[in-house]
């Protein structure tokens, strides 16, 4: 993995840092795994804007990703590592021995030509998917299920990884990227290795237009609004803007909004770091 700093031949390129895309092996996606992606632009079924600061952006097609890894015992060969416009991580195209093709989230270090497999009694090697009950303690994992058979829900973004800390009864203790330590059923699947594209956090867009290409419109700061538009608006000149809070008046910066009676609270051993 590498990043490139461009020469400042235009104002937009002066601070631009781009991905080297060393790991990418092809720019042509597998057609059978593509599907159209509809966008709402932040509008509801009446055409009214219900979500601000969204709209525009480059047209995308969705890549169908296999989050469940439920093709057990059948080896697959990594055919290519590809860019996916719908997520920060890279994806890998698998060619299974029975002829089926599937996309998965690529792990760091996954190579073209490598054989990977999912199942109960497989080796804990990068790219292999297995239940938490079969993974050695201390292993770096990603793409973790929260409920058996649901498909990967946790640790899916670029460079993210979790660690399997312990097992007790039917639960495994996993330390998540946020710093939270929680219990997850041992029958849930996880993939060995950290997620690819760990340099994603080093990228610098360089200009406002690149954010528009991603489908995000300019965002107005609350402190420059009028009192009718936001609790932090109003005042002469640069006033303090009152306590930081949302448009609905819910305080920000440290105010806990998680329900005290939420069912999954009992599975959280240690809260995430502030």
Q: What is the DSSP string of the chain?
A: --EEEPP-SSGGGSS-EEE--TT---S---GGGEEE----TTB-TTS-B-STTB------EEE-B--S---BT--EEEEEEE--TTSSS-EEEEEETTS-EEEEEPBTT--TT-EE-BSSS----TT-EEEGGGSPTT-EEESEESSTTS-EEES-STT--EEEEEEETTEEEEE-TTS-EEEEETTSEEEES-BS-GGGGG-B--SHHHHHHTTB-----GGGS-TTT-TT---SSS---SS-B-TTS-B-SS---S-TT-GGGGGEEEPPP-
- Structural tokens at position 72: 């057990």
At residue 235, the pLDDT reads 86
Residue 94 structural domain: 3-201
Q: Note whether 136 and 45 are same-domain residues.
A: yes
Report d(CA 204, CA 227) in Å as an integer. Answer: 34
Report d(CA 135, CA 137) in Å as an integer. Answer: 6
CATH number at residue 151: 2.40.50.140
At residue 243, the pLDDT reads 82
Query: Of 166, 201, 236, which residue is a domain's last?
Result: 201
In this structure, is residue 213 part of a structural domain?
no
Percent pLDDT > 70 in the chain is 99
Query: Is pLDDT at 206 greater than 80 in this prediction?
Result: yes
Query: Is pLDDT at 183 greater than 70 in this prediction?
Result: yes
Q: Note whether 64 and 120 are same-domain residues.
A: yes
Q: Residue range 58-83: average pLDDT?
A: 97
At residue 236, the pLDDT reads 84
81-118 pLDDT, tens digit per residue, is 999 999 999 999 999 999 999 999 999 999 999 999 99
Q: Note whether 149 and 253 are same-domain residues.
A: no
Q: What is the mean pLDDT of the chain?
A: 95
Residue 40 banded pLDDT, cuts 50, 70, 90 = very high
Query: Is pLDDT at 160 greater than 70 in this prediction?
Result: yes
The whole-model pTM stands at 0.92
At residue 1, the pLDDT reads 64
Q: How far is CA 218 from CA 163, 214, 236, 253, in A?
A: 38, 12, 24, 23
Q: Note whether 170 and 260 are same-domain residues.
A: no
165-180 pLDDT, tens digit per residue, is 999 999 999 999 999 9
Percent pLDDT > 90 in the chain is 91
Number of domains in the chain: 2
At residue 18, the pLDDT reads 95
Report d(CA 253, CA 251) in Å as an integer. Answer: 7
Q: Residue range 74-82: average pLDDT?
A: 97
Query: Is pLDDT at 192 greater than 80 in this prediction?
Result: yes
Query: Is pLDDT at 241 greater than 70 in this prediction?
Result: no
Q: Note whether 23 and 55 are same-domain residues.
A: yes
Q: Note whether 228 and 94 are same-domain residues.
A: no
Report d(CA 164, CA 162) in Å as an integer. Answer: 7
At residue 239, the pLDDT reads 73
């Amino acid at each position: 993995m590498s990043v490139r700093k461009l020469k400042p031949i235009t104002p937009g390129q002066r601070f631009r840092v781009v991905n080297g895309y060393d790991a990418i092996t092809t720019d042509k996606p597998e057609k059978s795994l593509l599907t159209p992606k509809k966008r709402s632009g932040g509008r509801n079924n009446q055409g009214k804007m219900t979500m601000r600061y969204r709209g525009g952006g480059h047209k995308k097609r969705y890549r169908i990703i296999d989050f469940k890894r439920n093709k057990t015992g059948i080896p697959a060969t990594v055919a290519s590592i590809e860019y996916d416009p719908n997520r920060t991580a890279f994806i890998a195209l698998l060619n299974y021995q029975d002829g089926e093709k599937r996309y998965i989230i690529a792990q760091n270090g996954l190579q073209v030509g490598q054989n990977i497999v999912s199942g109960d009694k497989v080796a804990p090697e990068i790219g292999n998917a297995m239940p938490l009950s079969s993974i050695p303690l201390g292993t770096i994992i990603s793409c973790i299920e929260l409920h058996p058979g649901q498909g990967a829900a946790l640790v899916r973004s670029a460079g993210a990884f979790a660690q399997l800390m312990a097992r007790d009864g039917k639960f495994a203790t996993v330390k998540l990227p946020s710093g939270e330590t929680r219990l997850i059923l041992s029958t849930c699947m996880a993939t060995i290795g950290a997620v690819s594209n760990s340099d994603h956090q080093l990228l610098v867009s360089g200009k406002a237009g690149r954010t528009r290409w991603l489908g995000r419109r300019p965002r107005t700061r609350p402190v420059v609004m009028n009192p009718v538009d936001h609790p932090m608006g109003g005042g002469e000149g640069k006033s303090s803007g009152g306590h930081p809070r949302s448009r609905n008046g819910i305080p920000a910066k440290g105010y806990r909004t998680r329900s005290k009676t939420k069912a999954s609270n009992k599975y959280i051993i240690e809260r995430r770091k502030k």
